[in-house]
Structure 1
Amino acid sequence: MSDVSLDRQVSIPEVRQLGIELLTKVGTPTEYAVIITDSLIEAQSVGHASHGVIRLLEYSNSVAKGSVKANVEPVVKSATESAVVIDGGWGWGQIACRLAMTEVTQRAKKTGIAVATIQNCNHIGRLGEYVERLAAEGLVSMMWCNGDPAVAAYGGRERLFGTNPFAAGIPTSTEPIVIDFATAASAEGKLRVARANGQQIPPNTVIDADGKPSTEPNDFYNGGALLPFGGHKGYCLTLMIELLGGGLSQIHPNVSPKYTYGWGTVLIAMDPTKLVPMDLFLEDVDHATNVIRATSPSDPTQPVLVPGDVENKNRAKSKTELTISNAVWESLQELANS
């Protein structure tokens, strides 16, 4: 077995400088470049390389193709006391999401609940980032989006749905509960990382162009499809996000003739204090999560966790350096020097 590592450690300041350089190089305002780079660094630091700095390659290419308008500022298109429509203007998705967070926070704290949709929206990064920020504001939140077709229907083999991630954030008296997962068997970005590293992927993740199961990530990129997670149950959740993400944002569901591109994003925030005193809410949540963590594990070496625990442990280990694939880092260096 080879002892050659697939990864390297890179200091966060070095990664940050490179990210900002690459984004400003394609016309992104420095303020936006900092936000986007920090978002990718955050994803990398908590262990989600699929939504980390590898995305700088895609993002630079998206500007070159005209899919992303790098200097566009998102705006509020319409609003009521509890609902707001954001027009992303085909600029950076992370910037549009920051505006959506600001708007729902203000409205939820006033009315108890608020919803935002984002139209004309590009890739928004890791959803867990946004619901975690809202939980830090004392808000319960849910978020989802549809996106480019990548996933087959249960029992089918054609790409009909996006990977359609879902996220929820729940405040506690310490670290928030952060639920964040693709409703496909894998995030597409994880296939991208496996392909870059020359690795296989787990069974029951993708099918090839003929509908046959495969563990080769290239089979997805050569006309195959991702599968929904959890069989028909995961398929139902994928479908819900496709219809509500696409329909409410007017990005449209993938199967619609009106769909061309984009991430149909929905963000809902709730203020628990409009329903119950915050101390009582936190007492229940804290007690429940403490009991769950204290549950006797089936494997003594693997304690029971709640969503967000893994990310918090990874974040604590990545305060100064990030673990980045050699292949990805070399590609970023080549892009910077091109």
Structure 2
Amino acid sequence: MRVLEYVDEVKSGVLNASSRPELVRNNKNFLEINGNGGIGISALNLAYDECCKDAEDKGLSVMAIKNVGHTGRLGAYAEVAGENGFLTICMGGGNRQNWRQVAPPGGAKAMLPTNPWCIGIPAGQTGPVVLDFATSKIAGGWIYAAKSAGALLPDNCVKDVNGNVTRNPDDYFSGGALMPAAEHKGFGLALIAELVGQALLGPASTKHWLLIAIKADQFREKTSFERVADEILDELRLCPPAPGSSGVQIPGERERIQRESSQNILQIPVSTWDQICDLASKYGVST
């Protein structure tokens, strides 16, 4: 679980637990969020709020988010923005010297971070469509979760230090590497995000992000847009399922269904909960 990773980052000095994000203007009068080296969740919350607020007035807003730690699930921010009528595009990169996780196609070792992308757009009756993905075959969080739970990883996602495909999460932490999603396509997206995060936005001590927000109804009247969006989505849902498949899933729909059926109950492995309790006891936090 990420909370264990966050504590390790604070202890090692990678993450500043006491910092707060702030909205600033750079020397070009361009809006930025400075995360001040802290957790990225509060910084991204602030960024999406301020960027959408700016886009409400101008139709379009672009914002840099600098010096932030792990942001949590990007789709959570995009869902809120989509529900409020904004198309958003977000990508993150930088600080690869500390986060060499993914081996490029043709490469023998990890070189780039997982550099996620997230695109969200308002849609029809079922809510926004949100595409939230790491540029590796699986997100880094899967590996931490599998290790914590004593579980195996999916096939063909990770290589060990010798370049052999493995399902053992320990092999990743012993010099292994994630494989890029869709080979050169995932690598290309990761590279663009790294160029944005480090070359465009400047030296990254943690991670930099670029967020774009567009007010959707400036292109088309809302009811017309939603009607056509529903037609597209319904047509895809009616596609005959492939053998062994439960049918077509719209991006973000699985998470939405799971959230609604969970009744706000979060299930985690006993071994993971034990680790969290041990951590809480160590720092005097009640569970």
Q: Does TM, scored on the shorter chain, surpass 0.5?
A: yes
The alignment status of 1:322 with 2:269, answered yes or no, reads: no
- For the Cα contact (< 8 Å) 2:158–2:179, is it kept in 1? yes
Question: How far off its partner does 1:165 sit?
Answer: 1.1
Distance 1:320 1:159 in 2: 37
Of the candidates 241, 251, 254, which is equivalent to residue 193 of structure 2?
Answer: 241
Change (3 A) 1:152 1:275: same
- 1:110-125 pair list within 5 angstroms: 110-125=57-72
Distance 1:171 1:82 in 2: 30
Distance 1:285 1:93 in 2: 32
The alignment status of 1:173 with 2:102, answered yes or no, reads: no
Of the candidates 280, 286, 305, which is equivalent to residue 224 of structure 2?
Answer: 280
Question: How far off its partner does 1:317 sit?
Answer: 1.9
Which residue of 2 is the match for residue 127 of structure 1? Answer: 74
- For the Cα contact (< 8 Å) 2:122–2:216, is it kept in 1? no
| Farther-moved stretch of structure 1 (203-212 vs 62-71) | 62-71
Distance 2:52 2:30 in 1: 11
- For the Cα contact (< 8 Å) 1:88–1:121, is it kept in 2? yes
Of the candidates 223, 233, 238, which is equivalent to residue 175 of structure 2?
Answer: 223
The alignment status of 1:208 with 2:208, answered yes or no, reads: no
Question: How far off its partner does 1:77 sit?
Answer: 2.4
The TM-score, its normalising length taken from structure 1, stands at 0.77
- For the Cα contact (< 8 Å) 1:251–1:262, is it kept in 2? no
Distance 2:228 2:241 in 1: 22
Which residue of 2 is the match for residue 162 of structure 1? Answer: 113
Distance 1:105 1:279 in 2: 20
Distance 2:52 2:259 in 1: 25
Question: How far off its partner does 1:82 sit?
Answer: 10
Distance 1:88 1:191 in 2: 26
Q: Once superposed, what is the RMSD of the aligned Cα atoms?
A: 2.0
Mark the runs of 5 or more structure 2 residues left unpaired by the alignment.
283-287
Code of the aligned partner of 1:202: P
Code of the aligned partner of 2:198: G
Distance 1:74 1:250 in 2: 18
Which residue of 1 is the match for residue 249 of structure 2? Answer: 305
Distance 1:61 1:201 in 2: 23
The TM-score, its normalising length taken from structure 2, stands at 0.90
- For the Cα contact (< 8 Å) 2:2–2:144, is it kept in 1? no
Code of the aligned partner of 2:64: T
Q: Percent identity?
A: 32
